[in-house]
Structure formats: C-alpha cells, structure tokens
Structure 1
Amino acid sequence: MNEPIISVSGLRGVVGGSLAPDVAMRYVAAFSAVAPAGAIVVARDSRPSGRMLASAVHATLCALGRPALDAGVAPTPTVGVLVRRLGAAGGIQISASHNPPEYNGLKLFGPQGRLLTAAEGEQVLAQYRHSGPAWVPYDRLGGWQEIEDPLGPHLDAVLSVVDAGLIRSRHFHVVLDANHGAGGALGRRLLEALGCRVTLLGEAADGQFEHPPEPTAENLAGVGAAVASAAADVGFCLDPDADRLAVIDEAGRYVGEEYTLALCVAHVLADRRGPVVTNCSSSRMTADLAQRFGVPLVRSAVGEANVVSAMVQCGAVFGGEGNGGPIDPRVGLVRDSFVGMAHILAAMARRGLPVSRLVEELPRYEIVKTKMTLQRHRVPAALDALEAHFSGARADRLDGLRLDWPDRWLLVRPSNTEPIVRAVAEAKTRHQAQELCDQAAQVIAALG
C-alpha cells in the first residue's frame, strides 16, 4: 500500500488506498504521544468517508486514554476557535481540503488553536515512523463528549470584529456556494446575523460536490451565472472545509482567491495599523497596500503554519495566503473564509461601493503558475543557475528562490511530495509573467 502524503501539519490520501483506518490510527496515536495532556477536539468536513475516519480517530483516542470533544461536521477554522475556547490540548480536523472526493486527510492543531508548527509536526512524524501506540488498559480508557453548538463561538468571534449593525443596514443579497461542504451551516448563520438575504447553493453537508471542490474560475462558472441571474450583491464560494474563500462580483464575474486577502487587508488597515504577513507566493497586491498604509509587510515561507508563526512573531494585525485564506488573529490563527466574508461585506457597507469597485481600487497584477519535472537532488544547482541568469533581480532563499524586480517577481520552489519544481510569476501583464516562467523553464532544461 502506498504511503499517504504527509507534511508537518497533517496527512492526506485516497481512502481505501494510501489512507486506510490503520494509517489514521497510527497518525493520531503519534499526535497524542507528543501533545500535552488534555482533551482533543475532533471535527470533519462533509466527505462521506469522514464519518468512518472520525470513528477511527475517536476509537484511537479512547484506547490511548484521551478524552475527545466531538464537533461533528464543522469548518477547519471552527476547530481552531474551539480548541482555544475549550482549553483543549489540540484538535484534529478530518478533511482533504480542496482535493477530489476520493481523498481525505487529517489536519493537526496545537493548544493555541493553530496548525502545528514545523518543529511540532516533525515530532509527530518521528513518532509516526519510529514508535507504536501506547494503548491503555480498560480502566483508563478515554471518554467522549459532544460539543453543544460547536459553531456558536466561531460565529460570535467573527461578528465581534466587524460593524455588524452597519452591514445589517445595507440588507445585502448574498449568494453563498457551500458546494455541499462543511461551511453551509455557519455561512448561513453568519450572513443572516449580518442582515443579508441568503441564496445558499449546496447547503446540505453531504459531500456530494456539485462542481470540483477547488474554488477556481473554471469550477465556479455556474455560480457566477447564479449570482448574475439573482441580481445579488456578491457571491462567496467556499472549499469543502471552508478555510478558503473565492469572490464573485455583482455581475457574476470571478474575482478570484488572490483578491480575497487584498480586499480584507485594504479594509482592516483603514482602521488598524500594524504588520501584515503573507507567504512568498502570494500576490504583490498586499505588499502595495502595506506600503500605501505605511505598515510593515512580512513574507513567510509557503504554508499556513509558516504564515501564522510569522504573524505571532511580529504581532501582525492581519495575514493570510493568496489562495483565499485570510487570517484575523482576533478570531483565530487559522485561514478563515467567514472572516473574509465579514470583512468584505463590511468594506462594501462602509464605502457604499459594490465589490467590483473595491476590486478596481486595488493594485492590478497577473499571476502565472507552472511546474517542471526536476529530481530533488538537482534543485540546488537549478536555483543557483536561475539566480545567475536573473542577476539583476534581488534574490531571496527563504523558500526555494524568489527573484524580485520593482514591477514583477518569480518564485521557484521544489515540491515536498513530487519530483517537480513549481514556478510562480507575477507581473503587470500576463505575457510578462508567462515570459518569466518560460525563461525559468529554459534555464532548468539547459542543465541537462
């Protein structure tokens, strides 16, 4: 049997293939072995395999003597809020995020309500690979308790960071595409609490996705048409575990995930000045906004855990990733689509502008993403060759190689799971961004 894809913050694989119950149980046992004493919050997204894996997770925790707090079907950011609110030792979210239905996975949270740091994740990996479970006798088995209203604390936290009264006064009509994921219930509660008229697509949390679950332009064409035909003010689209948000404007046009973070940052910095954190593959829009408002922009390595670590270190007022994952530390240290919806509605309400006009006010760039086959042992030579070829750029080796010019940038970094490197370029035009990716491919190909 193939091993699942394992990183420091969790694992994912094909159910019945690389991800079987025994694999999940070993991984949970490894997590429990390094986590502090106390209860573990357990939740899942809506995939049909989630119930089976939740049973395996609960059985494992019980057999290890760990108490478990069950949140049922809940968004990933909700788990972070619950861990902190309930004083739990950690959390386990059963989700494969935007991957197809045959996948599932486990995301691990520490007691701070955030995904495990790289160092914590390495401890879990070492335990998983080199040690077995420490089962307890019958008289020390762990208990199990269902959390009453698991969505309530998250709802309250999001409402507390926006002017809910102002948003209510606008009576926005919102199309919310939950796509039968975990975000429909909280999405409806949040939008109705903000006085919105809600048209909810794919509300039942049954994992029967009506379109491919990654919230890209191609996958959301039907949602855009629904927004336009309903004459709605805005469309919000969630991935299955609701930690990513894509936006559709009032004309049914896909705004995209890169703009989610920028729209939120522009709104938040108008009120609260302080450092902002993004990862090194996110759009330059956020850096331009930080400069406009006179605050520091900190770039982290790719990955939510790295963004959060940088946010904690610099005391950021906001952060996130360009894949539609805003993070407001007042709510939680997790990418959060509900934070994104609330801040975008607050910006629309305060400015009296449709989302299309808010987007027009943002700096405009085009991003191109490509990948190239390259064995891992050849990556250092490839990065050296790229740095030499683009000698006029400012080079940064924080995560792979990032090359910066005043009006464009290129990031080339190796995959952690495949023998490839990914290239991401951003420039004023798509042609310029594509040209950077093409040049990078030519330099790497010339190495033979």
Structure 2
Amino acid sequence: MSLMISVSGIRGIVGESLTPKNLTAFAMAFASLVFRQKERCGKNHSGKKPTIVIGRDTRPTGKAIGDLVSSTLLLCGCDVVDLGIATTPTVELAVTGEGADGGLIITASHNPVAWNALKMLNHKGEFLGAEEVDELLAIAEKELFVHAHWDRIGTLSQNEQYDELHIKKVLDLPCIDTTTIEKEQFRVLVDCVEGAGASIIPRLCTELGIKNIVEVACGGSGLFPRNPEPIEENLSTTIAALKESGCDFALIVDPDVDRLALLCEDGSLFGEEYTLVACADFYLKHKIGAVVNNLSSSRALRDIAAKHGVACYSAKIGEANVSEMMKEVGAVIGGEGNGGVILPELHYGRDALVGIALIVQAFTLWRSENGGGSLSEFRRTFPDYFMSKQKIVLGSTSRAALEKLFTDIASHYHSAAANRLDGLKLDFADSWVHLRPSNTEPIIRIYAEAPSKTGADELASELKHEIEQRVAGIESHE
C-alpha cells in the first residue's frame, strides 16, 4: 500500500508506507509552506516565529509520531502548541483560538490501528485547499525546506484546556438548552472505540444534561476493539451492549470524532445519512439559510431544505469541498452523509460534538411536542430513502477513457439530469446514482439511492453492468 495523499493530508500504514523519513519530510514541507504563506501575507516582518498547533488521537503510534513531528517543526523555526490527545474538531478550534498559522492532527480517522496520518490545517483551522496541497507537494519533492539557525529554533508549549473550551462553545450555542435535555432523564450509551473521544464525549453528554451514561470503549487505549468506522457491519457488539443496557439510544464516534452515528433504542441504526438530516431540520428552525451536502449524500436533506423553504447544494466529495461551497452560498449548516456535521456558527469542520448537541436537542424538542416517544419513532418522521453502495475494479482504463465513458452513459440515460462535477451523477425523478472514480485506488464507486432498498440495489447493479460492459470494450482495444 503506497502513501495516500489528499487535501486532508498524508496517510499510510506505520512502518510500511508511513515512515520516519516521509513523516519528517512532510513536517518540514508543512513548516516551509507556513513560512511562505506568512511571507506572502506580510506577516513575517515582525520576526515572530510561526505557531503550529498539534494534537493526536489515541493510537499507540501517535505519541512517537507527535514527538518526531514536533521536534522537526521546532528545528524548522516554528513554535509548537501541543494539545496532547485531542479530537480533530478540537484541534481545528484551537488553531484559531491560538491565532496560529496552521495545525497538524496525527490521526488516520476511521482507518484500522496500523494506520496513522498527518492531517494539515491552514491558519483558519481548515484543511488545506487543492492549491496549497500542490504547493506542499512541490516543496517536498524539491526539498525546498526551511531550517532554523541554532538560536532561532522554536519553543514547545502544552495546552490541555481546549477540550473544555470546545465543550463550552457547543453549550453556548443559542439553540442548545441543557435544562430541557436534563428533564428527559435520558439513559445513553456512548461508544468512543477507544479513540480521542473517550474523555471529551462523556463529559459533553454530562454537561448537556445527560446524567445516566453507559460507557463502551471509553478507556482511550487506542486499541480499537472493532473496525473503528461507525457503519452497520462494524457495530454488532455495540448493538448488543445497547440492548443489554436498556439505554434510550447510543452515540458512536470514530477515533478522531468528526463523524457521528446513532443507534435507536431497539438496536436499529438511525442512519449515518440522517445525522445531518436531523441536525439540519432542527437547526433551520433557529437560523434560516442554505444547506450543503456532497453529491453522494441522501436526497432527504434536499427534502428538509424544501420543507424550510431554503436551497440545498451538493459539492464534490470531501470535507474541504463541502466547506468551500458552504462559504460560497452562505450556508448555515452542512456536512456529509458519513455522519459529519459542519456548523459555521462554530467552525468550518465536521464536528461530532456539535452533531451530538444538535441531535439530542432535536430529539428533546420532538419528545416535548409529542408527549414522549422513542428515537426510532423520531427517525420515522424524516423522508425515507435507501442507499446501495457498490464498486468496480478497473484494469488499464485511463482517466480520459473514463470521461468519455461517463459522457456516453449520460447520453444513454437522457431522461436523467446529469451532473459532471465529480464523476457522473444521474438524477431521476425518484432516485439517483453517482459514479465516481477513486482518487487513491483503481476503482469506480457506485452510490445509488431510491425509495426502496430493492430499487437502490437494482439501480446500482444496472449501472455497474453498463460500466463493466463498456470498460471491457475499452480495455480489450488497449
């Protein structure tokens, strides 16, 4: 497996693709990029060193990588503020809170424990844009690194206050009323998969007014007891624990706490796609404005937007792309269908803490209006769609050939509205399908959604067959 490089940083298996050599190289390249950006903005004339905030999830390799990266940044002439174990959204908030010039998060998000990564943030606490990534890669490739003279190396400081500051910012949102939540006397299971949320999520729940919490995998060991991605096939033990505990619902986060999944009282999934849908429906009652998701997210958000009389926009897949479109259209809430919620009122990053506060408050409001009720009943109040996800492994098919293939398919399905922003999305009257080449693997991902599971599966399979036939024809002539 080669090193994966994207707008969210570099990612790989520690000791294989992610080595001390490339960790050091990319840390040096990031420091050099920060120096360049300060120079371009005219902020370097004061002689003040750049400040970079770092934080990490709980993986066993995190501290060693953090120490290596910190030392590298110091020797490049950067001051470093180390948050220790911190969630991705907490580090994002700390970058702006410190007035820093950038941030590094040592986490491979939902990847297994053997993986780790450097997620890179700009001075706004947001992931680097495509142009910034290109510049970073050019610096790394040409080794255009900055080095500090012995008397200009940076200083390291520790700051462990940002968990509390993060929680406070969430609680201070005008739409959050902890007294109403406390009255519900919820009993809630919290599963942090031994990740960075192990401390902050139970504390947030307590301060929201949830006094009865059953903690699962909240020790913070970093040794994930299951595949850490919070999707249905990985949650059988959590579902069993929920049923045994008799809790009203379960809150589940990934290791770096930018995604939120929920289980209803009966063990059924609320649905990753519906985390954002429920949060948006509630938040739009307090603040009206456009909403944004990505092209592979559920149509349910569009229905909710129509209900509130606001526009719904879809961006290319990727948090940075969603955030950028949110700024362009002035969206008040957005995110992705993987359980990621972005609330600009707090910051432009996916934030499971925000998601928890909004959805618990939304459920509380619904119960007060309906004289009680379960989370599964609350879930049934939203538009119901079903999704199918498939993929095709490619051989030698080039990107140019894929572009022509997508054009041909769009012409074949002339009754559908075609969107070529990110691969090909075909919008039909009551369903859609999105065909998207992976940026890191030789595959085409197929996402389809319809009013029934059968309909979604059939649509995805039909397009898979269409693509396979055309790809076979292309590759037989190459």
User: What TM-score does the superposition give when structure 1 sets the normalisation length?
Assistant: 0.97
2:395 is equivalent to residue 380 of structure 1: no
Q: Deviations along 1:15-58, whole A, 9 cap, x unmatched?
A: 00000112111112112212244211100111101111101110
2:124 is equivalent to residue 101 of structure 1: no
Alignment partner for residue 391 of structure 1, among 405, 414, 422? 414
Q: Distance in 2 between matches of 1:106 and 1:132?
A: 19
Q: Deviations along 1:281-322, whole A, 9 cap, x unmatched?
A: 111111110011100101110000000001111111100000
2:349 is equivalent to residue 337 of structure 1: no
Q: Are the counterparts in 1 of residues 55 and 91 from structure 2 also a CA contact under 8 Å?
A: yes
Aligned twin of 1:214: 229
Q: Distance in 2 between matches of 1:21 and 1:362?
A: 48
Decide which moves more: 396-405 or 250-259.
Answer: 250-259
Decide which moves more: 101-110 or 127-136.
Answer: 127-136
Aligned twin of 2:188: 174
Q: How does 1:13-412 map to 2 (within 5 A)?
A: 13-35=12-34, 36-37=37-38, 38-161=50-173, 162-196=176-210, 197-352=212-367, 353-374=373-394, 375-377=397-399, 378-412=401-435
Decide which moves more: 3-12 or 405-414.
Answer: 3-12
Q: Distance in 1 between matches of 2:289 and 2:51?
A: 35
Supply the AA of the counterpart residue of 1:57.
Answer: V
Aligned twin of 2:11: 12
Supply the AA of the counterpart residue of 1:392.
Answer: S
Q: Are the counterparts in 1 of residues 196 and 255 from structure 2 also a CA contact under 8 Å?
A: yes
Q: Are the counterparts in 2 of residues 260 and 324 from structure 1 also a CA contact under 8 Å?
A: yes
1:209 CA displacement: 0.9
Decide which moves more: 368-377 or 192-201.
Answer: 368-377
Q: Distance in 1 between matches of 2:167 and 2:296?
A: 30
Q: Are the counterparts in 1 of residues 32 and 144 from structure 2 also a CA contact under 8 Å?
A: no
Q: Distance in 2 between matches of 1:384 and 1:277?
A: 26
Decide which moves more: 35-44 or 189-198.
Answer: 35-44
Q: Distance in 1 between matches of 2:94 and 2:304?
A: 32
Q: Distance in 2 between matches of 1:347 and 1:446?
A: 47
Aligned twin of 2:438: 415
1:150 CA displacement: 2.3
Q: Secondary structure at the match of 2:421?
A: coil
1:79 CA displacement: 0.7
Give the count of matched residue pairs.
447
Q: Distance in 1 between matches of 2:140 and 2:192?
A: 34
Q: Deviations along 1:157-194, whole A, 9 cap, x unmatched?
A: 11112122221222211100011000111101100101
Q: Are the counterparts in 2 of residues 266 and 289 from structure 1 also a CA contact under 8 Å?
A: yes
Supply the AA of the counterpart residue of 2:108.
Answer: A
Supply the AA of the counterpart residue of 1:346.
Answer: Q
Q: Are the counterparts in 2 of residues 117 and 309 from structure 1 also a CA contact under 8 Å?
A: no
Q: Distance in 2 between matches of 1:376 and 1:67?
A: 44
1:384 CA displacement: 1.4
Q: Are the counterparts in 2 of residues 8 and 125 from structure 1 also a CA contact under 8 Å?
A: no
Quick check: which has more Rg, 1 or 2?
A: 2
Q: Are the counterparts in 2 of residues 8 and 122 from structure 1 also a CA contact under 8 Å?
A: no
Q: Secondary structure at the match of 1:417?
A: coil
Q: Are the counterparts in 1 of residues 392 and 468 from structure 2 also a CA contact under 8 Å?
A: no
Q: Distance in 2 between matches of 1:214 and 1:147?
A: 29
Q: Distance in 1 between matches of 2:335 and 2:141?
A: 31
Q: Secondary structure at the match of 2:77?
A: coil
Q: Are the counterparts in 1 of residues 51 and 80 from structure 2 also a CA contact under 8 Å?
A: yes
Supply the AA of the counterpart residue of 2:314.
Answer: R
Q: Secondary structure at the match of 2:324?
A: helix
Supply the AA of the counterpart residue of 1:174.
Answer: V
Q: Deviations along 1:313-343, whole A, 9 cap, x unmatched?
A: 1111100000010111112211111111111
Supply the AA of the counterpart residue of 1:206.
Answer: S
Structure 1: give runs of 5+ residues left out of the alignment: none
Supply the AA of the counterpart residue of 2:75.
Answer: A
Supply the AA of the counterpart residue of 1:364.
Answer: D
Q: Distance in 2 between matches of 1:164 and 1:26?
A: 46
1:3 CA displacement: 4.0
Q: Distance in 1 between matches of 2:17 and 2:160?
A: 34
Q: Deviations along 1:227-270, whole A, 9 cap, x unmatched?
A: 22222111011111111111001122222211111111111112
Q: Distance in 2 between matches of 1:219 and 1:445?
A: 29
Q: Are the counterparts in 2 of residues 118 and 305 from structure 1 also a CA contact under 8 Å?
A: no
User: What TM-score does the superposition give when structure 2 sets the normalisation length?
Assistant: 0.91
1:105 CA displacement: 0.5
